Structure 1
Amino acid sequence: MSTFTTRPEIRGTFGVVTSTHWIATAVGMSILEKGGNAFDAAAATGFVLQVVEPHLNGPGGDLPVILHDATSGKMEVICGQAPAPAGATIEHYRREGLSLIPGDGLLATVIPGAFDGWMLMLRDHGKLPLRDVLEPAIHYARNGHPMLARVSATIAGLADFFEKEWPTSHATWCPGGKAPATDELFCNPALADTWERLLREAETKSGREAQIEAARDCFYRGFIAEEIAAFVEKTEAMDASGTRHKGVLTADDLANWRATTEPPLTYDYHEWTVAKTGPWGQGPVLLQALALLKGTAIGEVDPVGADFVHLVAEAMKLAYADREAYYSDPAFTDVPMEHLLSDAYNAGRRALIGESASFDLRPGIVPGHEAQVQKAMQVIEGLGTSATGVYEPTMAHLSEKRGDTVHIDVIDRWGNMVSATPSGGWLQSSPIIPALGFCLNSRAQMFLLEEGLPTSLAPGKRPRTTLTPSLALKNGVPTLAFGTPGGDQQDQWQLSLFLRLAHHDLNLQQAIDQPLFHTTHFPASFYPRQRQPGHIMVEESFGKPVLDALRARGHALDVAPAWSIGRLTAARRDPNGLLRAAATPRLMQAYAAGR
């Protein structure tokens, strides 16, 4: 097993920040240097990512956070995943001539949740004034940032569509009528103006918490909400269905929603405890996979060998099959998570992992849910299969036009920890709202337009998001924050990382640099919702013997170039207070910093 690393593991005792863009990471460290804590740093990093990675997230997007507050000793989830608008009914979408919710446009929009999620975290856990947190994002929006090659290519690929169908986006992303070149300084003055006005209005209040509450009101009940509602009401936008539609989001939807907090869902795996969101996100699939793998030899096999890939892929096929049958907003659906994580259930499911690759989608049957599972399988059959890539990750071998996600991990000198996975509202989602400089999200595409399913569209219901940050405790002590962009692949790449750390003497960078893989065996969460039975995409760096052994087991291999899968980042705190951080070299954007 190679211990070669592309870059050093970052180590120190003051603080560490790691994210999917070097500028955002540097901003996070600057906040720690100012005396801010991990919560201030994570939020500042997140707002900068909206500016420098606009093809992956934006102010109109969504946000789950898992955090550990060292002062209170509490771990909690902040749910910045907002629900469907009141007008988002199956009947309405069917009347619009749709059988699937498009992957873009205004009908794909749910209430934007990221801003309120960040504000809730800052109010309850941060230290610095809101201006300190927002000013770095304002700087890069006003004065410019070097355009990433992938953002340039994304805009260039959409320029004709923007000019014809989304003119406000064309005006924003193609200043002077052309897509910005790689490394060209790119500005978004309208977004800078939006945040400056929000700060001015917030600072009419006295005190840090009052200003944060005023900022929340500006976004959801003030001038930002007014601009969003007016734009949606008057705009009929072309979307992936090939026709134009108006959205259903209203000012009342925005005004009546708040981000919430809840305890994380956890699972004990040997000396570790892994914390994830509830089943309104896909995070529990990682816990289910651990429950399946706990009774196997996963800890004894080569972590870059064929046995490892086979066991992890087969466990993920089973866990994701259960995602399709059961996961949903628990406020709307009875999700039997206790049963799905139980020893007895997983003993039976584990027996399904054979020596050969499975090609069938096999959800388990929980008593009382038989009809629900049967209905889900009928709908999945109707979605069909694909022989090509059907997922959403930012990988070089897939379309530059797909959106995706960013990720942030921060640990400060006091032991506060944040793992956050902002997404949505990317520049491909929907037309720019010109007065604000940002667009809305397309998270409603996770819903299905069929009654009686866990993921059936309903007003006020959270879509089953793919966004899935992670925290882990070792021997009961909060130790590890990690995550990645990548849609449905997020928990697959995170599972490989966690297993390599849990069972092998690797540092963070060594574990991140090892070859990655994932399966698209189950239905995608993204339009057009298809699947590739038996498929595994693997980096060629596993080597020919491993690839041949996987083919011999029947896996339908799709071999990707080395260094092309996944965008993992991770941060760790040792019992003696040593802090560590690492970031993937893949795509040459993510960086860790610390001292």
Structure 2
Amino acid sequence: MSTLPPFTTRPEIKGTFGAVSTTHWLASSVGMAILEKGGNAFDAAVASGFVLQIVEPHLNGPGGEVPIIAMRHDDEAPRVICGQGVTPMGATHEHFASLGLKTVPGTGLLPAVVPGAFDAWMRLLRDYGTLSLETVLEPAIGYAERGFPMLTRAVSSILAVVDFFKQEWPSSAEQWLEGGRAPRAEALFRSPAIAATYRRILAEARSAGSDRIAQIERARDTFYKGFVAEAIDDFYRQPLMDSSGERHAGVLSGEDMARWSASDEPTISRPYAGLEVHKAGPWSQGPVFLQQLALLEDVDFTAFGAESAEFVHQVAEAAKLAFADREVWYGDPNSAEVPLATLLGQAYNDERRKLVGERASFEIRPGLEGGRQRLEAIMALAGSEPTVGPGGGEPTFAPLPSVEGDTVHLDIVDRHGNMVSATPSGGWLQSSPSVPGLGFSISTRAQMTWLVSGLACSLEPGMRPRTTLSPTLVTRDGRPYLALGTPGGDQQDQWSLATFLRIVHYGYDLQRAIDAPLFQVRHFPASFHPRKSVVGRLLIERRFSEHDLAELRRRGHELAVQGDWSLGRMCAVAQHNGMLHAGASARHMQGYAVGR
């Protein structure tokens, strides 16, 4: 009998100095280089985050957003830095009604929110980091100036909009086309305009003197009150084409930029299997991970395998219930009443658990009084205004097969035990026009709001749209233990959950858990325009056995069998047994874990 460990696409990385996992090998290398320079995990996260903006521009950018969960080795608990910008003060129901719109467009200028990533990274650097702004920004500036290999999937995103850029968004044509054509896949590509923007921010920061904190504060002011905000304010006054098929001006203004800053918040957490699982608040979808855990806590996972039909069924049915609640109850708690304590409560989940049967459910079943009425209002709008032109709200384009999740992710742990997990997104090059003089696009996250009153995510000025971005940090005995996450929109807290359960209940190491075949449900309105749903649909990788696929069909699941390695882009780091560990998905051949 063989004693060899199960085959994985890569080894689980193990060491004692530091471990970095991101969705792009260049960002992972930069993160490790920052650790080698004496920086901590938070310095490395900032540097990696800025590099991801450059090398995965179709998945995130300088004008995007990021939720960050950070924990020093001696903190009592992790904290959330919320880099989710708010809707402009001009984003009112009345304004959209005057334009004849029933839903917020998925592309263009109208769905813009304040770009939150820059301030969140600055806050992490200021409060948790040790290195200078110049040190953590230089790698990103270097790739933007000297070039980086343009990913095939990034080129695919540009190919589909070459004519659109030329005709409707000329500033994007200037930024992303070469000689009027899409760049060549895997060839060197430069983003000099973005490099110049960051160089100008650095010059402004240095004018504040040599103090590290003073430079960071000046950089924040330069972005949100200086030339960056001014350029955005000017550009968003002109009407440009969006997914409604009409040209509209934006409502994002310099005043919106100036009044906002990233916030520091406690996590939302829940105990599970001797661990404490920490997520961002209900302005993200993060608590849906905790709701699924609450529904699954009485399941005897030892009775079936980690890659069995029963495992898929139990997790999928719990997801359907938890995401139904997400859809009707989650929103910015500063703008809406969110009954989170009840949704995570024992009594509520004991009752909800009884709804999981042997057969697949084809109902969307939110709980609590008023849940069904809210769902009816949402379903009346979901998919009511189809996208005109290329792409949708989460812009994945032909000619390559669609990729779930236009987002990136990073997890880092250092030799001191500091740990951080972050999921940057937004500012996709193909979802809104590049701002002239800056070289980047602005987040279109307001598409996740509804243009009716009385819902948890009804559009209001100054609110955080309920985002799908959802990093995870897990503590054990009060110390940082595990950080994980993935791109993937509505799938993030499904892929992450399956990975987590395989680590906790089956003893999979990080790489084996990440490599294991994945699945997801499409049972609820999508968070991205045009917000369609496919009730009962279960997407599943073909690597599950024919027996298990047949069993899932027998139990009523409507299967959409996907490619062998098509779902998820998981990253993870951990510390236990005196070592640091890391793994990254081999799917799409981008992500890498490094460490020593």
Deviations 1:38-69 (A, max 9, x none): 01100100100000000000010011000111
Distance 2:56 2:392 in 1: 22
Partner of residue 388, structure 2? none
Q: Distance in 1 between matches of 2:56 and 2:202?
A: 23
Distance change (3 Å), C-alpha of 1:390 and 1:191: closer
Equivalent residue for 2:521, pick from 519, 522, 547: 519
Equivalence for 1:227: 231
Question: Residue in 1 aligned with 2:581?
Answer: 580
Pairs within 5 Å for 1:501-516 = 501-516=503-518
Letter in 1 for 2:169: W
- For structure 1, the residue ranges without an aligned partner over 5 or more in a row are none
Q: Is structure 2 residue 223 aligned with structure 1 residue 216?
A: no
Q: Map 1:387-406; keep pairs closer than 5 Å.
A: 392=394, 404-406=406-408
Deviation at 1:106, TM superposition (A): 0.4
Structure 2 counterpart of 1:544: 546
Offset, 1:438: 0.5
1:145, CA displacement in angstroms? 0.3
* Aligned match of 1:254: 257
**Aligned-pair CA distance for 1:4:** 1.7
Q: Say whether the 8 Å CA contact 1:153–1:400 is kept in structure 2.
A: no
Q: 1:176 aligns with which of 174, 179, 182?
A: 179
Contact 2:24-2:52 at 8 Å conserved across structures: yes
Q: Would you identify which runs of 4 or more consecutive aligned residues in structure 1 move more than 6 Å? A: 393-398
Instruction: Choose which of 325, 334, 342 in structure 2 pairs with 1:339.
Output: 342
Q: Does 1:491 align with 2:490?
A: no
Indicate if the aligned counterparts of 1:376 and 1:453 stay in contact, CA closer than 8 A: no
Classify 1:300/1:478 alpha carbon distance in 2 versus 1 (closer, same or farther; 3 Å).
farther
Q: Residue 302 of structure 1 is aligned with which of 302, 305, 310?
A: 305
1:394-543 aligned at under 5 Å gives the runs: 404-543=406-545
Give the aligned residue type for 2:106: G
More deviation, 473-482/506-515: 473-482
Q: Name the CA distance, whole Å, in 2 between partners of 1:561 and 1:390.
A: 22
Secondary structure of 2:160's aligned partner: helix
Hey, what's the Cα distance between the residues in 2 that align with 1:244 and 1:567?
35
Q: Measured at CA, do residues 401 and 228 of structure 1 come closer, stay the same or move farther in structure 2, by a change above 3 Å? A: farther
Deviation at 1:29, TM superposition (A): 0.6
**Residue aligned with 2:137, SS:** helix
Aligned residue in 1 for 2:104: 101
Are the structure 2 counterparts of residues 364 and 299 from structure 1 closer, same or farther at C-alpha, using a change threshold of 3 Å? Answer: farther
Q: 1:490 to 1:271 in 2, by over 3 A?
A: same
Letter in 1 for 2:66: L
Q: Over residues 360-391 of structure 1, what are the superposed CA-to-partner deviations in whole Å (9 max), with x where a residue is unaligned?
A: 100011xxxx34641333322442599xx999
Match of 1:31 among 30, 34, 42: 34
328, 335, 344: which one pairs with 1:325?
328
Under a length normalisation based on structure 1, what TM-score does the superposition of the two structures give?
Answer: 0.96
In percent, how many aligned pairs have the same letter? 54
Does the 8 Å CA contact 2:65/2:117 hold for their aligned counterparts?
yes
Q: What is the CA-CA distance between 1:478 and the residue it aligns to?
A: 1.6
Q: Compute the displacement of 1:338 (Å).
A: 1.1
Is the 1:397–1:560 Cα contact (8 Å) retained in structure 2?
no
Q: 1:21 to 1:396 in 2, by over 3 A?
A: farther
TM-score (norm 2): 0.96
Cα distance in 2 between the residues matched to 1:390 and 1:55: 13
SS of the residue corresponding to residue 548 of structure 2 reads: helix
1:45 and 1:453 mapped to 2: Cα distance?
Answer: 37
Local SS of the residue matching 2:475? strand
- Whether the 8 Å contact between 2:92 and 2:460 is mirrored in structure 1 is yes
**DSSP 3-state at the match of 1:533:** coil
Corresponding residue SS for 2:540: strand
Q: Does 1:18 align with 2:21?
A: yes
Q: Is the 8 A contact 1:292 1:350 kept in 2?
A: yes
Distance in 2, Cα, partners of 1:291 & 1:261: 26
- SS of 1:268's partner is strand
Q: Is the 8 A contact 2:156 2:397 kept in 1?
A: no
Question: For 2:508 and 2:54, how far apart are their aligned partners in 1?
Answer: 34
* Paired residues for 1:14-413 under 5 Å: 14-206=17-209, 207-233=211-237, 235-365=238-368, 370-371=369-370, 373-383=372-382, 392=394, 404-413=406-415
CA pair 517-94 structure 1, distance change in 2 beyond 3 A: same
Q: Is the 8 A contact 2:66 2:116 kept in 1?
A: yes
Q: How many residues align?
A: 588
CA contact (8 A) 1:325 1:377 kept: no
Instruction: Give the conservation status (yes or no) of the 8 Å contact 1:59–1:439.
Output: yes
Distance 1:397 1:74, change over 3 A: farther
Alpha carbons of structure 1 residues 547 and 401: separation in structure 2 relative to 1, 3 Å: closer
Show CA shifts across 1:260-283 (max 9, x none).
011100001121110000100001
Q: Supply the distance in 2 between the matched residues of 1:539 and 1:486 (Cα, whole angstroms).
A: 15
Q: Is the 8 A contact 2:283 2:465 kept in 1?
A: yes
Letter in 1 for 2:458: S
Which deviates more from structure 2 when the two are superposed, residues 90-99 or residues 479-488? 90-99
2:573 corresponding residue in structure 1: 571
Q: Give the unaligned 5+ runs of structure 2.
A: 386-390
Change in 2 beyond 3 A, CA 1:296/1:402: closer
Q: Secondary structure at the match of 1:172?
A: helix
Distance 1:99 1:2, change over 3 A: farther
The 1-side partners of 2:118 and 2:354 are apart by: 44
| Contact 2:365/2:372 (8 A) holds in 1 | no
Q: Structure 2 counterpart of 1:213, which letter?
A: E
Deviations 1:178-208 (A, max 9, x none): 1111111100111100000100110111200
For the structure 1 residues 287 and 566, does the alpha-carbon distance in structure 2 shift closer, same or farther, using more than 3 Å as the test?
same
Measured in 2, the distance between the counterparts of 1:59 and 1:390 equals 21
For 1:176, give the aligned amino acid: G
Equivalent pair of 2:407/2:423 in contact (CA under 8 Å): yes
Mapped partners of 1:406, 1:140: distance in 2: 17
Structure 2 distance, partners of 1:418, 1:403, is: 21
State the SS of the aligned residue for 1:57: coil
Amino acid at match of 1:542: F
Aligned-CA RMSD value: 2.0
Residues 425-453 of structure 1, C-alpha deviation per residue, up to 9 Å, x if partnerless?
Answer: 01012111120010111100000101111
TM-superposed deviation, 1:395: 10
